[in-house]
Amino acid sequence: MDQQNLAVAIGESFETYHDQVAMCYLEAGAWRKMSYGEMRDQVRIVARALLALGVQPGDRLGIFAPNRPEWTLTDLGVLSIRGISVPIYATNTAEQAAYIITDTQMTILFTGDQEQYDKVQAMREQLPNLTRIIAFDDSTQLHSADSLYFSQFLQMGTEEWETAVADRLQAATSTELATIIYTSGTTGEPKGVMLTHANLYHQFVAMTGKFVVGPGDRSLCFLPLTHVYERAWSYYIFKTGAANYYLANPKEVIATMGEVKPTVMVSVPRLYEKVYAAVHHSLEGGSALKEKMFHWAVGVGRDYQYRRKAQRPLGLFITLKHALADRLVLHKIRDLVGGPKNFFSAGGAPLAREIEEFFFAAGLLVCEGFGLTECSPMVTFNTPSAFKFGTVGKPIPGCEIRFGENDEILVKSPGVMQGYYNKPEETADAFIDGWFRTGDVGKFDDEGFLRITDRIKDMIITSGGKNIAPQRIETAVAKDHYIEQFIAIGDRRKFISALIVPNFVALREYAQNHGIANTTAEALVQHPDIIAFYRARIDDHSQGLANYEQVKQFTLLPALFSQETGELTPTQKIKRKVVAQNYADVIDAMYPAD
């Protein structure tokens, strides 16, 4: 039995941590718990039911649902019988889901709620290979004879199939495909990343000894499990005997953190940006004394934590001063995110150093890393014992990095994918001399920490020949409390401009407090006082940018970029080319002399 097979490795946890809590989920407003022993039994029932349906090794089976325990139970059940699990973002359109189902010749699909089920039904005639649709939610209204509920499906997993499941698992290897994960497609058609069990298992090897996680720890699973970051992390949670708390709606994450009090978790930078912005926004309506006390406390906290990091003596005065700062301010920041943490982790986009240091001052370490779906995902990470803010850390164990043309980051690692499913040409283009091309630009500093400067395809080259990294601008400005979405524009233009979608909840409150009567989105984005308000905030956030990087013109938009209009990926990344096309007239109006 191959110990680096995910089903085998996590199966060992079922026995080792039999009575420990493995999963927690909301049911009728209360958190329900499932032990590792109970989780083992449910995974086996799923595996047996899949065999009863005739699933063969190598068959592709899909999961089209928000986060919920059934998602993981199904995923592990598929892996236990040597199937290939294919996740589909719950927010994908019917056409996007159909593309993945068709491309993988999927035979069985699990859906979350009515929304995902109906999307599949809308494309049903175009999906001849799909033989079964299994709905997790018993309230789903089924419309075809090949559909059934998950509860009915489980009844098929009778004990007579137990030996067959054991035989499949005995024959399982780490070199087999575990999953095909489709990339977000910011620059074109989605590509199915093929990852083996060994690719993903390497993440366990890389994290062991670097991060302390185990029984008694709680992780809030709020990023979509379709995303390799949350999925690989969840595997590690189960490998180490910790508990995974499932949250279906990511918009409820901050409130849920206060309830669950996670001790470890992964996130994208937007969560940290929102907390940072909310805290600083609360100061704007307060007294000068309150603001002064806040900044004093954060400064004390930062000094205290850096002294501890450098193992410098603290002394009685510094210790007492920190205790006062903590009692007055710092503990309130920790309370916002559910109390103390072993560590946070951040990935998927750049995180401003000032935000990292803000959390650090409050005793909350954010370990930023760098990775891609194609790398399972981590390439580098900061760790609690070796971190440097403003960087994405050092290469994970077993990973090599070198730099190619235009300082592109090239990677060799046991985590690198096998290729793109059904796309041999794209696979060949993704490698150079055996090194995976990340598409990201970066460099090592003198201590061996990696700094990411931009993505090659995102680089803005102005008409004056300036090479500008838009992410640097966006990271500096978009952390503002009054900004929901922000994209820098300027390729082949004279200067940098921006399209901005306001945070309309915050903006309406501001407008009402300043005597602006009409608070519709359309009226607000055209109001001269509102435009001046944003001009001042942009200028304030841009002080650290070079003159040619600063936003000279901007337009406030009345509606969010969305996945439905093709402007966002399922992971909420902005598709620059689509936005440029959809708002061509608006952008042109900011450059009247071009």
Reported as a single tens digit per residue, the pLDDT across 100-139 is 999 999 999 999 999 999 999 999 999 999 999 999 999 9
Question: Is 65 a domain residue?
Answer: yes
Average pLDDT rounded to a whole number, residues 423-430: 96
Question: Is 407 a domain residue?
Answer: yes
Average pLDDT rounded to a whole number, residues 137-143: 96
State yes or no: pLDDT of 7 exceeds 90.
yes
The whole-number pLDDT of residue 18 equals 97
The tally of domains found in the chain comes to 3
Question: Model's pTM, two decimal places?
Answer: 0.89
- Rounded CA-CA distance 2/170 in Å is 8
Share of the chain above pLDDT 90, in %: 86
More confident position, 458 or 265: 265
Task: Place 453 in a pLDDT band, splitting at 50, 70 and 90.
Answer: confident
Domain limits at 290?
269-419+428-456
The whole-number pLDDT of residue 546 equals 85
Residue pair 449/396 in contact by the 8 Å Cβ criterion: no
Reported as a single tens digit per residue, the pLDDT across 50-98 is 999 999 999 999 999 999 999 999 999 999 999 999 999 999 989 999 9
State yes or no: pLDDT of 594 exceeds 70.
no
Task: Place 187 in a pLDDT band, splitting at 50, 70 and 90.
Answer: low
The whole-number pLDDT of residue 334 equals 97
Residue 574, domain CATH: 3.30.300.30
Residues 314 and 408 in one domain: yes
State yes or no: pLDDT of 540 exceeds 80.
yes
Q: Between 269-284 and 353-361, two packed helices, what is the crossing angle to 10 degrees?
A: 70
Residues 150 and 69 in one domain: yes
Give strand ranges (E) for 115-199: 132-135, 147-149, 177-182, 192-196
The whole-number pLDDT of residue 254 equals 93
Reported as a single tens digit per residue, the pLDDT across 190-204 is 899 999 999 999 999
Residues 399 and 520 in one domain: no
Average pLDDT rounded to a whole number, residues 433-437: 97
Task: Place 329 in a pLDDT band, splitting at 50, 70 and 90.
Answer: very high
Residues 448 and 466 in one domain: no
- Rounded CA-CA distance 112/63 in Å is 8
Question: Is 189 a domain residue?
Answer: no
Task: Place 564 in a pLDDT band, splitting at 50, 70 and 90.
Answer: confident
* Mean pLDDT over the full length of the chain: 94
Residues 511 and 582 in one domain: yes
Reported as a single tens digit per residue, the pLDDT across 271-309 is 999 999 999 888 887 888 999 999 999 999 999 999 999
Reported as a single tens digit per residue, the pLDDT across 356-386 is 999 999 999 999 999 999 999 999 999 999 9
Residues 439 and 519 in one domain: no
Residues 509 and 445 in one domain: no
Residue 356, domain CATH: 2.30.38.10
Question: Is 257 a domain residue?
Answer: no
The whole-number pLDDT of residue 233 equals 98
State yes or no: pLDDT of 186 exceeds 60.
no
Residues 345 and 320 in one domain: yes
State yes or no: pLDDT of 321 exceeds 80.
yes
The whole-number pLDDT of residue 328 equals 96
Reported as a single tens digit per residue, the pLDDT across 411-425 is 999 999 999 999 999
Average pLDDT rounded to a whole number, residues 9-15: 97
Residues 381 and 481 in one domain: no
Residue 29, domain CATH: 3.40.50.980
Least confident span in 233-237, 398-402, 452-456 = 452-456
Task: Place 158 in a pLDDT band, splitting at 50, 70 and 90.
Answer: very high
Whether the upstream peptide bond of residue 377 has omega within 30° of 0, thus cis, is yes
State yes or no: pLDDT of 188 exceeds 80.
no
CA dihedral 207, 208, 209, 214 (to 10 degrees): 110
Cβ neighbours of residue 135 closer than 8 Å, sequence gap 6 or more: 110, 111, 112, 117, 142, 147, 148, 149, 150
Question: Is 203 a domain residue?
Answer: no
Residues 343 and 472 in one domain: no
Q: Which two tokens stand for residue 36?
A: 């590792």
Where does residue 95 rank: exposed (0-12), middle (13-18), buried (19+ CB within 10 A)? exposed
Which of these three, 119, 150, 173, is where a domain ends? 173
Task: Place 462 in a pLDDT band, splitting at 50, 70 and 90.
Answer: confident
Question: Is 507 a domain residue?
Answer: yes
Residues 535 and 490 in one domain: yes
Residue 149 Cα distances to 43, 142, 359, angstroms? 17, 8, 44
Question: Is 223 a domain residue?
Answer: no
The whole-number pLDDT of residue 346 equals 94
- Rounded CA-CA distance 394/379 in Å is 8
- Rounded CA-CA distance 535/550 in Å is 11
Which of these three, 173, 200, 218, is where a domain ends? 173
Question: Is 208 a domain residue?
Answer: no
Report the half-sphere exposure of 232 (CA within 13 A, side-chain side): 30
Residues 450 and 495 in one domain: no
